[in-house]
Amino acid sequence: MANIFFLKTLIFTFIMISSNVSGQCNTHTPPCSLTCRCGTSSDVCLPVHVMGCGSLGCRPGWSGPTCQKQNIVYKATKVDSSSELSVSNSDNLAFDGDLTSVFRSAIEANPSVTVTATSSRHPIHTIQIYNGATDLNDLSGFEIYVSASSDFINSKLCYRDTTAIGKSEYVINCTQPLTGLYIKLLVPKTTSLAIREMEVYVCGEYWFGSECDRLCNCQSASTRCNGVTGACPYGCPDGRNGTDCYSECLAGRFGRQCQSICHCKNTASCDKVDGTCDDQGCAVGFKGDNCQRACSSGEFGEGCEGKCHCYPVNNCDKETGQCAGDCQAGFKGDNCQEDCEVGKYGRNCAGDCHCKNLTSCNKEHGRCDALGCEAGYTGSYCNRECSTGRFGEKCQYICHCKHAISCNHVNGTCDEGRCAAGYKGDNCQEVSGSTINVHTPEPNKNVQIYFRTNRRSLIWAKSPQNKETASIKGRPESNKASSTGLLAGVCVLAGISLVLMIYAVISTVKGRRWYIRFQQEIKSHYDSAQVPRRERSSEIYENTK
């Protein structure tokens, strides 16, 4: 067996020397950065740190499974006690590493011993005291203080013994992690202080735990952790958390201190370090290499490939596309993904198109194409009804309702079919009185004047297209008066009284004067705004039958 061990050690030593890592231990990645504390002159450690030094043992002042537990008062030279001791009772005997030698003070009040540590790199981990008194109770009630200065003005209490019966050996931990160069053991009573050995332990660089056998697991491999708790001053590596940074992130978490949330499809777990998802990809509403980028404004759904149509656009749910408010102009539906149907436009498709021949309008703003607006509507977007008193295509027709009530803006119908005097029909556009034709110099551009039978009450004028003449539906009263005058003349020739002849003359003159006035009124009405300008003429001709 000895030969086998020697062979293994020889092979290991050759490997370490060949790798140029003599005196160092293998950690996360080569080259090694941990100092060996093995009990050989070459300080060669086994390549796997958890195996420690094997049978080589630890160097003096170091212990533990990996030889990383250091007694920082081992072989201390700076020791002070409360009593003047003889050489045989030197206070250094309490720190020489020999459990057979005893340091003993004289019987006195509050005897104490103070030692200056060889290092103050790490917080004190463990203090071990071996009682050297003949009566073990002499040490009961002792106190330990740690200070950064020798005067102990700002010292901190590490431990106070509360047992009534003394023990032969004490293994204690400070109530709080303390770092200091000066350690004092005090017995607050009148007694003799006697101890065989006092050992104060800290962990070596990058190690922690009760036996200093656990490596620090900090964000940076070169960062030292707390030698007692393993806590890292700058946090844990990505994917780890906990006081000692050895706990893996829970499912659904990753990254620094496990603060980031996975966003993988079907709630799958992501990589604990960088958050990348497997082949399933990102959850809906997220994108990017590690699915940490939420969909941008205006995007939603799996891979953020959906396009939002909300108003405003940032009111879109990143997962479903559901809108918190209205849809954009031209869209409708629960998540505003449906186009407006034919004849609708605007936000939530609430607007009605009013285009000629029922053609569809622009889905966003309702503008019609070159055909223009349907009857009863006007404006650039055909969204305004004809103004009061107008109706029909391009709002070019005038209402003729009783009491000047406005008609239907589309077809001109009046309420209960009540037309103004002189008009009739479904939309009160037919004249119920008489007409007279007035010709313009242009062919096929005759103007027909309509009037009521009660004299001089003209209603409106229009030009019948493609007609050379227009029939007269009646005669004005002036014409009737002229007929009466002719009849009276016949009566004169028949020998009727002179009175009738005089009446005929008067009636003829009166009727002719009225007819002249009637012509003037026709001329005035013809020149008014009711007759289109292109149909007006400087001459008027009357045509009666």
Whats the size of the chain, residue-wise? 545
Average pLDDT over residues 423-446: 62
Show contacts of 224-228: CB within 8 Å, 24+ apart: 224/122, 226/122, 226/123, 226/177, 227/122, 227/123, 227/125, 227/202, 227/203, 228/123, 228/125, 228/173, 228/177, 228/203
Distance CA 79, CA 184 (A): 10
Q: Which fold has domain 71-203?
A: Jelly Rolls (2.60.120)
Q: CA 235 → CA 116, 222, 260, 268, distances in Å? A: 32, 13, 15, 26
The DSSP string of 286-298 is EESTTS-EEPPTT
Residue closest to 196 by CA, chosen among 284, 309, 103, 120: 103
In this prediction, what percent of the chain has a pLDDT beyond 70?
A: 70
Give the lowest-confidence range in 64-73, 141-150, 312-321: 312-321
Quote the pLDDT of residue 67.
87
Pairwise CA distance, residues 319 & 357, whole Å: 42
Per-residue pLDDT at 506: 58
Cβ-Cβ contacts under 8 Å for 14 (sequence gap 6 or more): none
Confidence of residue 82 (pLDDT cuts 50, 70, 90): confident
Q: What is the mean pLDDT of residues 27-56?
A: 59
Task: Give the model confidence (pLDDT) of 232-260 as tens digits.
Answer: 999 999 999 999 999 999 999 999 999 99
**The tokens 């809108």 sit on which residue?**
323
Above 60 in pLDDT, residue 229? yes
pLDDT over 70 at 468, yes or no: no
Phi (first) and psi of residue 332, to 5 degrees: -150, 180
Give the DSSP H or E segment for 397. strand 397-398
Instruction: Name which of 373, 347, 348 is nearest 359 in CA terms.
Output: 373
> Look-up: residue for tokens 């922690």?
208
pLDDT confidence band for 84 (50 / 70 / 90): low
Range name among 434-448, 453-467, 496-510 with the lowest pLDDT average: 453-467
Q: Is the pLDDT of residue 494 over 60?
A: no
**Residue-averaged pLDDT of the chain:** 74
**Average pLDDT of the segment spanning 214-239:** 89
pLDDT category, 197, cuts 50, 70, 90?
Answer: very high
Of 315, 342, 316, 314, which Cα lies nearest the Cα of 330? Answer: 342
Q: Supply the pTM of this predicted model.
A: 0.54
E strand segments, 410-504: 423-424, 430-431, 434-439, 447-451, 458-462
**What's the average model confidence in pLDDT over 290-318?**
87
What is the pLDDT at residue 425?
86
Question: Is the confidence at residue 334, as pLDDT, over 90?
Answer: no
36 or 386, higher pLDDT:
386
Cβ atoms of 102 and 141 closer than 8 Å:
no
| pLDDT of 270 | 92
Choose among 543, 535, 499: nearest CA to 519. 543
The rounded distance, in Å, linking the Cα atoms of 270 and 544 is 100
Domain boundaries of the chain, sorted by first residue = 71-203, 232-292, 304-339, 433-545
How far apart CA 539 and CA 516 sit, in angstroms, is 15
Q: Which of 349, 386, 345, 341 shows the shortest CA–CA distance to 366?
A: 345
Residue keyed to tokens 């027909």: 448
Nearest-angstrom CA–CA distance, 104 and 197: 11
Question: Using CA atoms in the order 497, 503, 508, 509, what is the torsion angle rounded to 10 degrees?
Answer: 130
Structure confidence at residue 269 (pLDDT): 86
Q: Tell me the pLDDT tens digit for each residue of 305-332.
A: 889 988 888 788 888 888 888 888 889 8
Please, which residues bridge with residue 365 across strands?
none
What is the model's pLDDT at position 167? 93
CA atoms of 367 and 379, how far apart (whole Å): 9
467 pLDDT higher than 50: no
- Does the pLDDT value for residue 482 go beyond 50? no
> How confident is the model over 61-86, as a mean pLDDT?
84
Average the pLDDT over each of 45-54, 178-187, 359-368 and give the range with the smallest value: 45-54
Closest CA relative to residue 94, chosen from 102, 86, 105: 102
Cα–Cα distance for residue pair 414/429, rounded to 1 Å: 10
